[in-house]
Structure formats: structure tokens, C-alpha cells
Chains A and B, each alone.
Chain A
Amino acid sequence: DVKVTQSSRYLVKRTGEKVFLECVQDMDHENMFWYRQDPGLGLRLIYFSYDVKMKEKGDIPEGYSVSREKKERFSLILESASTNQTSMYLCASSLHGSGANVLTFGAGSRLTVL
């Protein structure tokens, strides 16, 4: 069964800590995405990537960075976590090209910053 796997389902971190959220897909997809989900706001795009070592800012990139060293892996980094980054983080991937390409999502990582 093809999958997008997020390494941690639940994380609790302290303000100022560096946080890594890992995402791996086994579908050979070119595109990978990081969203955060907050009640009443839906899903908002943080960063996305079309290819290895390539990244594009989404709608809310402030306070985040990403890394894509291999095609199957896309990491989200919070350099210095803050309480307003407490959220559900969703990773997704898709094929590149057609507008009809469906995003496949991971199970999500719920991050709490104390």
C-alpha cells in the first residue's frame, strides 16, 4: 500500500527548541508539501517542493524552513519553536504535471509547544 509517512504522530516541545518533522513517501512523487491545520482556518501551505534540493514558499513560511535532500523525503524545520506554532502539521505528495493530480496525505503530526 502506497504511503506518506510522518515520523511522529505527537510531539511536545519547549519554546526555543529546534524541531524536525520528517515526511517520507514511497510513490516516487515529484511534489511534496507541508501544511498546517488550525480550527477555523483550514489547511494553510507552509512550503512545497517540486524536486530534490528545490523549495518554494507557501502562504505562511515565516518561522519555518524545509529540506529536501532526497526525492522521497521532505523535512520541516522549526528553528526556534514558539507557542503559536502549536498545530497539526500535514505532509502531502503528488505527481507533477497534471492539474488533476491528487495529493496523498500523511496521518499528521500534532505539535504542542509549551
Chain B
Amino acid sequence: AQKITQTQPGMFVQEKEAVTLDCTYDTSDPSYGLFWYKQPSSGEMIFLIYQGSYDQQNATEGRYSLNFQKARKSANLVISASQLGDSAMYFCAMREIQGAQKLVFGQGTRLTINP
């Protein structure tokens, strides 16, 4: 069964620093997709970035990049030049392509950016 693990319940970072949020996954499906979502205090879930298991390049979206290490089964989110507005919960998620279309989420990491 697919599983996502986020081992950092909380992180504190100074504004303008880069931050890496860890995510490891487990699956027996060779074809899968990895997602990161942001949830600010307002509660909405905001899609940030996607990485396919067969993508050759690491995904990037503005200040967000996904450090995809397939052999280690890790998909860490890197936020460059952090801003106060980056303070939020961050969730890593995975979808296996072969099976159901469901998305399985990790436990989340609460990121706090200090001024």
C-alpha cells in the first residue's frame, strides 16, 4: 500500500532563508505522481508543485522546487528566499497511476517564518 511520511512536525526559519521540507514515500507501483500542497491558517488547500515518477528533471514552480530522489524514495520541497506569507502547513501527497485515482497525504509540516 502506498504511504507518505513527513518527519518534521514543525519548522522555524528566518525570513529570506531557504527551507527544505522532507517527504519520503513508499509504493510498489513504478508509475506515480507526487504533489505538494500548502494550507494557510485560512484552511484552504493550495496546490504548489507536481512531479511524475518518470520525469527526468526536478519540478520547479517559481520559488518552489521539488528535490526528487527516486532511488531514495524522497520528494523534498525546497522553498527559496522564504517570505512571511510562506508560514503555513505543508502536505506531501502521492497518487499511484495504476490503481485508484486517490491521493494519499502525509502528516504535514507546520512551517513558521520568523521576521
Q: Residues of A with Cβ closer than 8 Å to B?
A: 31, 33, 35, 40-45, 48, 50, 56, 58-59, 88, 90, 92, 94, 96, 99-105, 107-108
Contacts and interface: CB of A to CB of B under 8 A. Distances in A.
A43 to B, nearest CB: 4
Contacts of A96: 101
A9 to B, nearest CB: 9
B101 A43 contact: no
Contacts of A44: 105
A107 B100 contact: no
> Which 10 residue pairs across A and B have the least CB separation, nearest first?
A105-B45, A99-B97, A43-B105, A99-B33, A42-B107, A42-B105, A108-B43, A102-B47, A42-B108, A99-B95
Contacts of A48: 100-102
Interface of B: 4, 6, 9, 31-33, 35, 42-45, 47, 50, 52, 91, 93, 95-97, 100-108
A24 B18 CA distance: 38
Contact of B52 (A33, A92, A100): A100
A56 B44 CA distance: 25
Contacts of A31: 101
Contacts of A56: 100, 102
A40 B10 CA distance: 11
B107 A58 contact: no
A41 to B, nearest CB: 6
